[in-house]
Amino acid sequence: MLPIVALVGRPNVGKSTLFNRLLRKSRAITHDMPGVTRDRIYGECQMNDVKFDLVDTGGMVLESEATPELSKDFEDEIFEQAREAIEEANAIIFVVDGKEGLTPLDQQAAEYVRRSGKPVMMLVNKVDGSEFSAAMTSDFHIMGLDLLPVSAAHGYNLSEVRKRVRQFVVELNLPEEVDDGIERGLRLTMLGRPNAGKSSIINAIIGQDRLIVSDVAGTTRDSIDVTFEKKNKRYTFVDTAGVRRRANIQDHLEKISVIRALKNSKRSDVTILTIDITLGVGRQDKRLIEFLAKEKTPFIVVVNKADLVPRNETNQALDAFRRELRIIPHVPIVMTSAQKGVGIGKLLPMAEAMRKECEIRIGTGILNRSLQAVLEKQQPPVVKRKRPKFFYVTQADEPIPTFVFFCNDHTLVKSAYARYLENQFRKMLGIKTAPVNVVFRSSH
């Protein structure tokens, strides 16, 4: 597990801009597929030899679904986001706006940060050149934090910021995850709102109620991975403490810890998103689905508590779930009742099959013959009076099937044709449920 560093600060100080700047050089393959350009909230950063997860709290809405009136108070909402980020993080980058100067909201946010006792560094953003540095940072010294001026938008002092952030992470000196030598097998992460039935499903799969205690209040370990064997194969549920955590807290803001959820997802082969059939797809589920889709995470949607819906209505319910997932039609939906043990037996084999598909490696010969067949069947449409011309395709060495198409001009490939290519390749290569990434590169 990598250290988590959270960007915290009030809205509009430039957290997202910084996030994108700090992440930029770290990503090997960019999703240059049209339509996948939106901001991410969570990403792996690499600065020389140092790796960490960077979290941007700017784009996150974590207000309660059940009591929306609470979220009317904008400031409360911001603090809720910040609180979550601070709680999950190992260290904090506190961002303020040098143009605006110190505001009461900054001071309140800083108070939260300070109370967490976590290491913090402060960035005074929007200092768009060294000539403004002294004047624009002077306000902030009073807060007693190490500070550094930066301009995320214009690049001033960014290399120094990178250097200091790297050093900041190094000095955290976090213990590395101890490898206990246990073979973990296929790793699964359970996601979903409290009470959707995640623990019940885990128990139903493992078949021993004792393996997961519902009260983890006294548990000192923060993250508990549960490894078990089924039909001579090993499996691990990642972070079962995280599964139970929120449900126990008497908190009217019942919510999923999005950051923790995404991090666990990344550590796993397959993610299982559990949704209570009687509640349907809520806002947080939607956000999670959106993130999982964007991150190309292999996942299964489990529609649980099917026993609570009359049998003649289950198809209708399933259709509603399919509609929610129409942008990612490959994601399987499984109807279960953890209580009655229905549908549970499908989950592990399905996860296995999904992982196998992720591990598919296809030779260049087959890929290029497939490409020719697909092009013959339907040529790419003309864009700006030019027709994209494809030269060849290769599979990149990535955890999910990733096909890199080399063409004369990747900007000519529109999303509809990208989807066509993806679907055709899926069919020809037999990739039914795993995510597939198609990437276009211009080569001359």
Sequence ranges of the binding site for GTP: 9-16, 56-60, 125-128, 192-199, 239-243, 304-307
Tokens standing for residue 79: 């603090």
**Residues contributing to the annotated binding site:** 9-16, 56-60, 125-128, 192-199, 239-243, 304-307
236 beta partners: 187, 227
Minimum CB distance to ligand GDP, residue 177 (Å): 25
Which of 197, 332, 380, 435 forms a contact with ligand GDP (CB under 6 A)?
197
Distance CA 12, CA 257 (A): 23
What sign for the dihedral angle of Cα 194, 198, 199, 201? positive
**Largest pairwise CA distance in the chain:** 71
Residue 293, number of CB atoms within 10 A of its CB? 16
Beta bridge partners of 274: 302
Which residue's CB is nearer to ligand GDP, number 306 or number 421?
Answer: 306
Strands of the sheet containing 50-56, edge to edge, are 42-47, 50-56, 4-8, 91-97, 120-125, 147-149
- Among 125-133, 224-232, 321-329, 408-416, the segment contacting ligand GDP (CB under 6 A): 125-133
Q: Which one of residues 6, 188, 196, 289 is an interface residue with ligand GDP (CB under 6 A)?
A: 196
Based on CB atoms, which residue is closest to ligand GDP, 3 or 9?
Answer: 9
Amino acid making up residue 220: T
CB of residue 223 to ligand GDP, shortest distance in Å: 16
Q: Are strands 50-56 and 42-47 parallel, antiparallel or unpaired?
A: antiparallel
Residue 296 tokens read as 């190309």
User: What is the closest distance, in whole angstroms, from the C-beta atom of residue 58 to ligand GDP in the complex?
Assistant: 3
Residues 7-26 interacting with ligand GDP (rule: CB under 6 A)? 9, 11-17
Closest approach of ligand GDP to the CB of residue 409, in Å? 29
C-alpha angle with apex 380: 329 to 387, nearest 5 degrees?
A: 150
Among 308, 320, 373, 382, binds ligand GDP (CB under 6 A): 308
271 counts as binding ligand GDP under rule CB under 6 A: no
Which SS3 state, helix, strand or coil, does residue 392 take?
strand
Site string for ligand GDP, 220-259 (x = CB under 6 A): -----------------------x---x------------
Dihedral of the alpha carbons of 70, 71, 77, 81, in degrees to the nearest 10: 100
Sketch the per residue contact string, 128 through 147, with ligand GDP: x for CB under 6 A, - otherwise. Answer: x-------------------
**Residues 356 and 349: beta-carbon distance below 8 Å:** no
Residue for token digits 């309140």?
108
Selected binder of ligand GDP within 81, 151, 189, 271 (CB under 6 A): 151
For ligand GDP, the binding residues in 94-123 under the rule CB under 6 A are: none
Torsion over CA: 104, 109, 114, 116 (sign): positive
Contact residues toward ligand GDP (CB under 6 A) are: 9, 11-17, 58, 125-126, 128, 151-154, 192, 194-200, 243, 247, 304-305, 307-308, 337-339
